[in-house]
Structure 1
Amino acid sequence: MSELREEEKDVLEYIKRFANEEVKPLARDIDLKEEVPRKLIDRMKELGLFASYIPKEYGGYGMSFSFLIRAIEIISKACPSTSLVLDGALTLFGEPVLMFGSEDLKKKYLKRVAEGEIGGLALTEPGAGSDAAAIKTSAVKDGNDYVINGTKIFISNGRLAKFFVVDVVTDPSKGHRGITTFVVDSDAPGFKISRDIHKMGIRGSSTVELIFENVRVPESNIVGKLNEGFKVVMETLDAGRIGIAAQALGIAESAFEEAVIYSQQRKQFGQNISNMEGIQFMISDMATEIEAAKLLTYNAAERWDKHEPCIKESSMAKLYASDAANRIATDSLQIFGGYGYTTDLDAERHMRDAKITQIYEGTNQIQRVIIAREVMRELNP
């Protein structure tokens, strides 16, 4: 597995300090108030995090995807809601524009992301979750514009984003081959947030339902080609799943470390519970799972950096890291015993935050379908 560049390692040290000293102390309030404070977003902008992955020709620093994944992991360890602001802006908005956008579209939007403006992805609909090809939001050509109508749900960065990558149906007769991807500005007439969605975990992440009522978008805002948006969706999710794996990894690491420290302080039967074989087995299993998840996640990120096929690898990373995060959050809470079940400690929040990583960017059941399909294709091309 290749090493990060020295300057990337140096920046990660700054991010660790930011996460530990500025983000983590606010994590509980972020959960309670259901909002990432503006001062943290502004600090991420000051630290150049939004510019980190954007290429230099569009005002960024041109750091690697592997760097970005580690940054998401570090911030997620402190507060996954905060990391999702950065993750959504770069992997879910920036990446599809970077991969498929025209030069004009890249100059127009990637520079704004590098300057700290936030983007998002609007794909999911009330009747189209795992089945992304079932979307109904439509775009009809009118002169040099397209007019969009429909509804999107569970949209991250909803109230923060200045623009979204939006997937719509432009030719209903072609099924998934009739989907097109656009960039839509959030201040476009007819673009509305109909409601905020309150969640079990990652409560600080702004999640909304969007309504499009005759929203006019110029043809020049097509990402990629007309009726080829499904390809944009699938490749965007390949990158996004690695980001979610990193998020899950950060949650798991935080839950694990807190539980291990507690086990070395908590005394029962005249000794620290960390001396008990049952607790030691739990610790060893969790440590092993974290290391395995880390290797899968970093490997998928490296393949993405090298532009190597990574459909299987990104799904494996997301599947394993998120399943591991849920097991680890549960076992960590168990080590805390009754105290872990209270809101006095963070163990219960880690459990709540971990769950979503098994659901978004494609449920883990869908990941298993993808992995099986790719394995069979490799063995029987």
Structure 2
Amino acid sequence: MDFELTDEQRMIVDTVRKFVTAELEPREDEVERRDEVPPELAAEIRRKALDAGLYAANMPEELGGGGLDATSMTLVERELGRASYALQMLVARPSNILQVCQGQQRDRYLMPAIRGERHDCLAMTEPGAGSDVRSMITRADRDGDEYVLNGTKHFISHADAADFVILFAATGTEQTSRGPKNRITAFLVDLDTPGLEVRRGSACVSHRGYHQCELVFTDCRVPTGQRLGDEGRGFELMTEWLGASRLSVAATSVGRARRVLEMTTRWAAERTQFGQSIGRFQGVSFQLADMATELDAAEMLTLRAAAKLDRGLMTDQDAAMAKLYASEALGRITDRAVQIFGGMGLMAELPIERFWRDARVERIWDGTSEIQRHIISRSLLRPLGS
């Protein structure tokens, strides 16, 4: 498989890298200190991203998006991953599932999201339903031309900065080979809809400024015209449109790990002990070698999955392997970086301790490492009838 970048892809990487270096990295300390992105700063970054042609790069060109293929989009995610999550998410990639919008939904949700006028968040997880999404208990009950929503979602990323939510709720049950399961349906719900309350969640050790929230629905009514796709098809929509999100986690993990390795290598070359740079000691140099090897392996798995997605050949196993290995490699790489930096690696004066903290969540969201291993092993065993 040829991993050589095209001239266009090299230009994309260069453009995004320069944007991250000039516009995002200098603001990281402020966001970390305040645990928020000031509204005026968010507006400025979004405007500059729109002007640079970086906004909605994942959306089709005919809709006003960047029209990038999966490999190019993975390269964008990799470069954005070098920056603080709260800042890089302002260079928005609206949820791909919005392409399912029909009729007035396109004018009200899809097109404004592509233009940067409205912002979405995605609500699946509940206190009792994480990886097992079909056990969710948030309900949408049909009442004439409306659905009545009741239930609670949590760990909903950046809901406090969104205008509407892509909600998944149960609309009845169906029999499966493993017993009754909820039928899931997707909805588009404006966050100012009566009966919907948005609450800031508990403070999180990872990604300060990028908040997780609770959404509480209490007899919240939405018209049937805000149903996304057919009733009972929400689980299939998740599988069809959201599976590639694991590639995003893998790509951003690779980008962040690359930045950590660069900083750690520079530190090892410049920091002296016993009359020489610490990088000359085998205990440090071998750790750098392992970091570089793991990083390249994670990048190859991620780019391979993206290339297969472009050809319509990517499997759940491909995405799971990329997400699993890249997120866990990031954890190991940031941990080694702290060790090489020594005491300074734990000080807020340097960003290493932030990279270390931020890395932890990557093994949990968008499917835990255990879920990824389940997907991979199931793919291996299923052809053998096990």
TM-score (norm 2): 0.91
Runs of 4+ in 1 over 6 A off after TM superposition: none
Q: Residue in 1 aligned with 2:193?
A: 188
Q: Which has the higher contact order (CA 8 A, sep 6+)?
A: 1
For 1:69 and 1:102, how far apart are their aligned partners in 2? 27
| 1:341 aligns to 2:365 (yes or no) | no
Q: Residue in 2 aligned with 1:351?
A: 356
For 2:5 and 2:292, how far apart are their aligned partners in 1? 23
For 2:305 and 2:9, how far apart are their aligned partners in 1? 18
For 1:85 and 1:209, how far apart are their aligned partners in 2? 21
RMSD, matched Cα: 2.1
| Range 121-130 or range 107-116, more displaced | 107-116
- Could you report, residue by residue, the CA deviation over 1:307-345 in whole angstroms, capped at 9, with x for unpaired residues? 324211111111000000000000011110111111111
| 1:364 aligns to 2:369 (yes or no) | yes
For 1:309 and 1:106, how far apart are their aligned partners in 2? 28
Q: Residue in 2 aligned with 1:300?
A: 305
SS state at 1:227 partner: coil
| Range 67-76 or range 13-22, more displaced | 67-76
Q: By how many angstroms is 1:228 displaced?
A: 1.5
| 1:10 aligns to 2:11 (yes or no) | yes
SS state at 1:166 partner: strand
Q: By how many angstroms is 1:2 displaced?
A: 6.0
Q: By how many angstroms is 1:378 displaced?
A: 4.4
- Could you report, residue by residue, the CA deviation over 1:174-223 in whole angstroms, capped at 9, with x for unpaired residues? 55451111122222222221224311011121221111122222223222
**Percent same amino acid among aligned pairs?**
34
Q: Residue in 1 aligned with 2:27?
A: 26
| Range 362-371 or range 42-51, more displaced | 42-51
For 1:194 and 1:204, how far apart are their aligned partners in 2? 15
Q: By how many angstroms is 1:5 displaced?
A: 5.6
CA contact (8 A) 1:165 1:183 kept: yes
Q: 1:243 to 1:378 in 2, by over 3 A?
A: farther
For 2:171 and 2:122, how far apart are their aligned partners in 1? 18
Q: Residue in 2 aligned with 1:146?
A: 147
For 2:313 and 2:86, how far apart are their aligned partners in 1? 30
For 2:90 and 2:154, how far apart are their aligned partners in 1? 17
Higher percent of residues as helix: 1
Q: Residue in 2 aligned with 1:66?
A: 71
For 1:361 and 1:345, how far apart are their aligned partners in 2? 28
Amino acid at match of 2:360: K
Q: By how many angstroms is 1:85 displaced?
A: 4.4
TM-score (norm 1): 0.92
Q: 1:9 to 1:197 in 2, by over 3 A?
A: farther
| 1:42 aligns to 2:47 (yes or no) | yes
Q: By how many angstroms is 1:249 displaced?
A: 1.2
Q: 1:212 to 1:180 in 2, by over 3 A?
A: same
Q: In the alignment, which of 213, 222, 243 is matched to residue 208 of structure 1?
A: 213
Q: 1:48 to 1:185 in 2, by over 3 A?
A: farther
- Could you report, residue by residue, the CA deviation over 1:144-167 in whole angstroms, capped at 9, with x for unpaired residues? 221211111011121111122110
| 1:262 aligns to 2:267 (yes or no) | yes
Q: 1:321 to 1:42 in 2, by over 3 A?
A: same
Q: 1:50 to 1:246 in 2, by over 3 A?
A: same
For 1:5 and 1:220, how far apart are their aligned partners in 2? 43
Aligned length: 376
For 2:73 and 2:211, how far apart are their aligned partners in 1? 21
Q: In the alignment, which of 239, 245, 267 is matched to residue 244 of structure 2?
A: 239
Amino acid at match of 1:76: G
Amino acid at match of 1:277: Q
Amino acid at match of 1:272: S
| Range 163-172 or range 31-40, more displaced | 31-40
CA contact (8 A) 1:196 1:206 kept: yes
Gaps of 5+ in 2: none
For 1:269 and 1:296, how far apart are their aligned partners in 2? 40
For 2:284 and 2:123, how far apart are their aligned partners in 1? 43
SS state at 1:170 partner: strand
SS state at 1:74 partner: helix
| Range 184-193 or range 127-136, more displaced | 184-193
CA contact (8 A) 1:60 1:111 kept: no
Q: Residue in 2 aligned with 1:374?
A: 379
For 2:323 and 2:107, how far apart are their aligned partners in 1? 31
Amino acid at match of 2:355: H
